[in-house]
Amino acid sequence: MAGFTLETRTGGQIEIVGKDGVSLMKLIRRAGVEELTAQCGGGCACASCHVYVTWPKGVAAAKTELGEARMLSTANHRRISSRLACQIKFEANLDGMRVCIAPEDMDRF
């Protein structure tokens, strides 16, 4: 089955089974990972599902839309690989991608 590797904030690794068309945020939450809080429920309104993404070889990074870019601009730990997990839909071509949960912005909420 297609899926991705999730690295938690403590360095643990979890293999997550993907499902086409489902956001990474939902897949991560369904796997029981509570440190990805997703406080807005996937509405691209809080950046609490901030992750760092390493795309599989041969797969171009998905485009960051304006709303996501605005939310990420408020994140204290933004990197070039930063994305919101609620904005990436899993597809089979993303098999093998690596996703790392970004440090929590303690002053955000």
Q: Where are the domains of the chain?
A: 3-100
Q: How confident is the model at residue 107 (pLDDT cuts 50, 70, 90)?
A: low
Cα separation, 65 vs 70, whole angstroms: 9
pLDDT the model gives residue 105: 81
99 close to 6: Cβ distance less than 8 angstroms: yes
Residue 66's contacts (CB-CB under 8 Å, 6 or more residues apart) are none
* pLDDT tens digits, one per residue of 20-67: 999 999 999 999 999 999 899 999 999 999 999 999 999 988 889 999
Query: DSSP secondary-structure letter at 12?
Result: -
CA 31 to chain centre: 13
Q: Is domain 3-100 annotated with CATH 3.40.640.10?
A: no
* pLDDT tens digits, one per residue of 72-90: 999 999 999 999 999 999 9
The answer on pLDDT for 14 being more than 60 is: yes
pLDDT the model gives residue 106: 67
89 close to 21: Cβ distance less than 8 angstroms: yes
